Chains A and B, each alone.
Chain A
Amino acid sequence: MARPVRETPILFGEDARRFIARMQERHPETPEARAQRLRDYEFMQKAFEDGMREKRAREAANGGVDPWFKHVEFPKDLKL
């Protein structure tokens, strides 16, 4: 069984003080890092738009099922 992801805790004491102090500071990314991030974003956004368009086409051609993935159904009353 996969380990659950820990919930984000309420920050107290020194952790809260440090967090709020860090929020007030600005640590801007370098121009190079910004340019790389925006290039990655453009690339990934296009990959997402293309990927979703192709997924919808596969589903339309296969009765609503995407053959690239295993198809699973859940009963309506399924509990987590």
Chain B
Amino acid sequence: MVQTCGIPERFKIVRLEPTNAIENFDCGDRDLNDYITNRASLFDYHMLAVSYTCIDPDTKQILAYFSLANDKIATSDFPNMTEFNRFRRKQGFPNEKRLKSYPAVKLCRLAVDICAKNRKIGTKVLNYIKSMFVIKNKTGCRFITVDAYLDAVPFYEKNGFRMMNLEDDDPHTRLMYFDLMDLVA
């Protein structure tokens, strides 16, 4: 039986410093737990991501973790990577007409502790990130990107994310994106 902890209405959000490490967290995925408890501080220290936690202030239990980094989505006129590389070798780096890129923010990791599952904290976090980059964005940002675990794909689809590649056969994850323009009335 999944125990519940914390009351979503009461939690606090904290942006972690690189010196802040998380000790007790279990989202049910060993790989994600390992990143959050052992590697996240290192990525924050090297300024490759910024980590946030949702915490129950009474128990100090971490209810959810997410981290963000800058990203971009680039499109090319070339039919495939082979043609692109052939051109690049012959002509040097392609000009603007050959490669267009759009600013994005990458949701690097998003995890909810087992004790706080089924309380829509993940959806609240997504709604927060979406609004953050529409309402108070300090730089241009058109998309949210995510490398979603296969079992999390339905969650992202339900929240308006789309597949980036038609044929993505990675055994673990799917690359997905959300267009923030959909939120602009």
Could you tell me which A residues sit within 8 Å of B by CB distance? 1-3, 5-6, 8-16, 18-20, 22-23, 26-29, 34, 36-38, 40-41, 43-45, 47-48, 50-52, 54-55, 65-66, 68-74, 78, 80
Give residues of chain B (6-50) contacting chain A, Cβ–Cβ below 8 Å. Answer: 9, 11-23, 31-32, 34-35, 38-39, 41-43, 45-46, 48
Q: Are A69 and B21 in contact (CB under 8 A)?
A: yes
B109 cross-chain contacts in A, Cβ below 8 A: 5
- A-B complex: 8 closest residue pairs judged by Cβ atoms: A51-B12, A2-B35, A41-B131, A40-B127, A44-B128, A69-B20, A16-B75, A48-B13
Overall SS of chain B's interface = mixed
Q: Are B46 and A52 in contact (CB under 8 A)?
A: no
Q: Answer yes or no: B172 CB below 8 A from chain A CBs.
A: yes
Number of residues of chain B lying within 8 A (CB) of chain A:
75
Q: Are B131 and A28 in contact (CB under 8 A)?
A: no
Q: How far is the CB of B71 from chain A (nearest CB, A)?
A: 5
Docked pose: A71 CA to B164 CA in angstroms: 38
Which among A10, A28, A74 has the greatest number of chain B C-beta atoms within 10 A?
A: A10
A26 cross-chain contacts in B, Cβ below 8 A: 181-182
Q: How far is the CB of B50 from chain A (nearest CB, A)?
A: 12
Q: Are B76 and A2 in contact (CB under 8 A)?
A: no
Docked pose: A18 CA to B179 CA in angstroms: 13
Q: Are B75 and A51 in contact (CB under 8 A)?
A: no
Q: How far is the CB of B13 from chain A (nearest CB, A)?
A: 4
Give residues of chain B (80-114) contacting chain A, Cβ–Cβ below 8 Å. Answer: 80-81, 83-84, 99, 102, 104, 106, 108-109
Q: Answer yes or no: B183 CB below 8 A from chain A CBs.
A: yes
B19 cross-chain contacts in A, Cβ below 8 A: 65, 71-73
A28 cross-chain contacts in B, Cβ below 8 A: 182, 185
